[in-house]
A and B are shown apart, each in its own frame.
Chain A
């Protein structure tokens, strides 16, 4: 079978397919035209490129979409909001974890105290909010201090208490395992 592929001059091969005038400088265009006038192979290859360009560019345009799909854009927007919401949720979870005692979060624990009754220990924050409670057991506090009927422990003992309690979080509160 005859190979009909044209082999244009090496130096000009790439420039023959150029159709946008901005791709060549003025001097390059002049030089190309001069070369095409003297080289029949390159002239034929150039003409082939022009025919291809004409064929492809004369394809009829496709009738486009009627209008912008607003509801889809709204969905896209909503998905961004959802992402942002997840980011906010994660940052609030991190903030909450930061506020938790060191036993769970490895962050410094604020000073807490343990109130004692007959059956359980309760660990409360400074405002009296119940943080933890624990069945009375063999939890040992090395440094207990009683003030106005309330037993205080050091943060270190509170950590030991929490570790020993094997608590697990459920929602915003903690239940027994």
Chain B
């Protein structure tokens, strides 16, 4: 049995990478099975990334579906199979940004703790603290600009290098570095503001002082 000839450029790459490139190549050629393999691998990450980008889990899932349909359509025109992931995240990020532009209310999550208190007190006890912490982080993320948010999520959650983020967002590496720094600072300020707001609403003496 003859062994099919491989692209000589791939011979220097690790076996997993070669396999991955071949799967992407098959998906490009129209193989649903290959595309399903890519979908199963990336779908959980893309869903989470998009949910964090738009601040809503359900919308994140819908956008993930939209992203994969766009990817399926655009796959035949993709050139660089080795960097499929950055290309995929570029499509996902653009989908999220388009969605944010279309949305009438920019941030459904963008409510201060004081506003949330108006709808019901936040109970913090035991494991619920973790839920509360997650909500705080989501709220703080929601206050960043989409570009900063994308940079922070790609770096801290997806583990991308700054070069990969630059490629995914079609920006220069220098800009990414600046965006991450500014994004971190904005996140820190927003988180601090939210926690102080929360403390104020929890502590009646502080609330009284703030209203005087």
Interface residues of A (CB under 8 A from B): 4-5, 13-14, 16-20, 22-23, 48-49, 52-53, 55-65, 68-70, 72-73, 76-77, 79-80
Nearest-neighbor residue (CB-CB) of A54 within chain B: B156
Query: Nearest Cβ in chain A — how far from B12, in angstroms?
Result: 18
- Cα–Cα distance between A20 and B180 once the two chains are bound (Å): 12
The answer to whether A59 and B52 touch (CB under 8 A), given A14-B178, A20-B162, is yes
The answer to whether A68 and B134 touch (CB under 8 A), given A19-B156, A59-B157, is no
Please name all residues of chain A whose beta carbon is closer than 8 Å to the beta carbon of B39 when the two chains form the complex.
68
Please name all residues of chain A whose beta carbon is closer than 8 Å to the beta carbon of B35 when the two chains form the complex.
68, 73
Nearest-neighbor residue (CB-CB) of B163 within chain A: A23
Indicate which residue in A14, A49, A56 contacts B177 across the interface (CB closer than 8 Å). A14
The answer to whether A57 and B61 touch (CB under 8 A), given A14-B178, A62-B51, A64-B43, is no
Query: Residue B95 at the A interface, CB < 8 A?
Result: no
A-B CB contact pairs (8 Å), 15 listed: A16-B181, A20-B155, A48-B184, A53-B156, A55-B137, A56-B141, A56-B157, A57-B157, A58-B134, A62-B47, A65-B43, A65-B47, A68-B35, A69-B68, A76-B72
| Binary A-proximity of B21-36 (CB < 8 A = 1, otherwise 0) | 0000000000010011
Query: Residue B113 at the A interface, CB < 8 A?
Result: no
Query: Nearest Cβ in chain A — how far from B21, in angstroms?
Result: 20
- Cα–Cα distance between A76 and B68 once the two chains are bound (Å): 11
Query: Nearest Cβ in chain B — how far from A135, in angstroms?
Result: 53
A60 near B162: Cβ-Cβ < 8 Å? no
- Cα–Cα distance between A52 and B140 once the two chains are bound (Å): 11
Query: Nearest Cβ in chain A — how far from B200, in angstroms?
Result: 15
Query: Nearest Cβ in chain B — how far from A23, in angstroms?
Result: 5
A23 near B162: Cβ-Cβ < 8 Å? yes
Nearest-neighbor residue (CB-CB) of A13 within chain B: B181
A20 near B161: Cβ-Cβ < 8 Å? yes
The answer to whether A56 and B69 touch (CB under 8 A), given A20-B155, A64-B64, A65-B61, is no
Query: Nearest Cβ in chain A — how far from B110, in angstroms?
Result: 17
- Cα–Cα distance between A79 and B72 once the two chains are bound (Å): 12
- Cα–Cα distance between A172 and B61 once the two chains are bound (Å): 50
- Cα–Cα distance between A76 and B67 once the two chains are bound (Å): 12
Query: Residue B159 at the A interface, CB < 8 A?
Result: yes
Query: Residue B87 at the A interface, CB < 8 A?
Result: no
Interface contacts beyond A49-B184, A61-B47, A73-B72: sample of 11 additional A-B pairs, CB < 8 Å, sorted by A: A53-B155, A56-B157, A59-B48, A59-B137, A64-B47, A65-B47, A68-B35, A69-B65, A73-B32, A73-B35, A73-B69
- Cα–Cα distance between A20 and B64 once the two chains are bound (Å): 25
Please name all residues of chain A whose beta carbon is closer than 8 Å to the beta carbon of B141 when the two chains form the complex.
56
Most buried by B among A52, A69, A79: A52
